[in-house]
Amino acid sequence: MKQRQIAVVTGANRGIGLEICRQLAAKGIRVVLTARDDKKGLTAVESLRNEGVDVEFHSMDVTDEESVQRAADYTMNRYGKLDILVNNAGIGVDHENTCQNIDIDRVKEILETNTFGPIRVCRTFIPVMLKSDGGRIVNMSSSMGALSNMNSGSSGYRISKAALNVVTGMLASELKDTNILVNSMAPGWVRTDMGGPDAVRSVEEGADTAVWLATNETLPTGRFFQDRKEIAW
């Protein structure tokens, strides 16, 4: 009998991450919903359980090496493998930051979460993922990080997501002889705390491509997607 798939989602106490957990769990995947704030994470788990969706919680702050290691150790000890990792946690958007008038400390803060966070999480979880028959890493990027569509403002956020796309390409290359696939995606403009109430997409729409990249049978690696279609970097 095929073993149940195990997924870990970062920054999943609200927004797109919470919806990714909901959709993965609905497919019968065992989901570890992670958040940096235990109270918020446990409340999110409780809200899903009240809907009849069973997921579990583990604490993880993607900027904290020890916290990431504890989450990876927990996953290894409890399940012996990891099949799906969604690097969803993110901060921004720093609209006022242009390149000519930039708050470099703010850019560093954004990079710490949006770029170094996923690097830290991947580096720590990949050994657990190598125990899986076929691992998937989904990096939640943004069209604001696409070099093919670069614009002004939000420089910290744009730089962090463009750099995250570089991480996707590099990891896909480093892992090409394994069965781990690594892809980036853009969810579109989504109604969350980050996206705001005027955004054009629901969280269901924002989560869809992440869940597809995590579960679709055949996929390339090292690519950038939106709406289940490849887009230019």
Ligand X SMILES: NC(=O)c1ccc[n+]([C@@H]2O[C@H](COP(=O)([O-])OP(=O)(O)OC[C@H]3O[C@@H](n4cnc5c(N)ncnc54)[C@H](OP(=O)(O)O)[C@@H]3O)[C@@H](O)[C@H]2O)c1
Q: Which residues are known catalytic residues?
A: 157
Give the contacts of 104 (CB within 8 A, at least 6 positions apart): none
- Site of tokens 């570890």: 32
Least gap, CB of 220 to ligand X (angstroms): 21
Least gap, CB of 73 to ligand X (angstroms): 17
Of 5-13, 48-56, 174-182, 211-219, which segment contacts ligand X by CB under 6 A? 5-13
- Site of tokens 């463009």: 162
Contacts to ligand X from residues 49-108, by CB under 6 A: 61-63, 88-91
Instruction: Show the tokens assigned to 98.
Output: 């242009």
Least gap, CB of 63 to ligand X (angstroms): 4
Which of 192, 208, 221, 225: binder of ligand X (CB under 6 A)?
192
| 194 contacts ligand X (rule: CB under 6 A) | yes
Between 22 and 36, name the residue whose CB sits nearer to ligand X: 36
Ramachandran angles phi, psi of 37, nearest 5°: -110, 115
Least gap, CB of 43 to ligand X (angstroms): 10
Of 102-110, 130-138, 186-194, 221-229, which segment contacts ligand X by CB under 6 A? 186-194
Residues in contact with ligand X, shown as a per-residue x/- string from 11 to 30 under the rule CB under 6 A: x-xxxxx-------------
Burial of 233 (0-12, 13-18, 19+ CB in 10 A): middle
Of 33-41, 126-134, 172-180, 223-231, which segment contacts ligand X by CB under 6 A? 33-41
End-to-end CA distance of the chain: 39
Between 37 and 230, name the residue whose CB sits nearer to ligand X: 37
Ramachandran angles phi, psi of 165, nearest 5°: -65, -35
| 168 contacts ligand X (rule: CB under 6 A) | no
Is the Cβ–Cβ distance between 11 and 92 less than 8 Å?
no
Rounded Cα distance, 114 and 19, in Å:
19
- Site of tokens 């090409």: 176
Of 71-79, 172-180, 184-192, 225-233, which segment contacts ligand X by CB under 6 A? 184-192
Give the contacts of 230 (CB within 8 A, at least 6 positions apart): 220, 223, 224
| 209 contacts ligand X (rule: CB under 6 A) | no
Rounded Cα distance, 206 and 222, in Å:
20
- The one-letter amino acid code at 99 reads C
Least gap, CB of 35 to ligand X (angstroms): 6
Interface contacts to ligand X, rule CB under 6 A: 10-11, 13-17, 35-37, 40, 61-63, 88-91, 113, 117, 140, 142, 186-187, 189-190, 192-195, 199
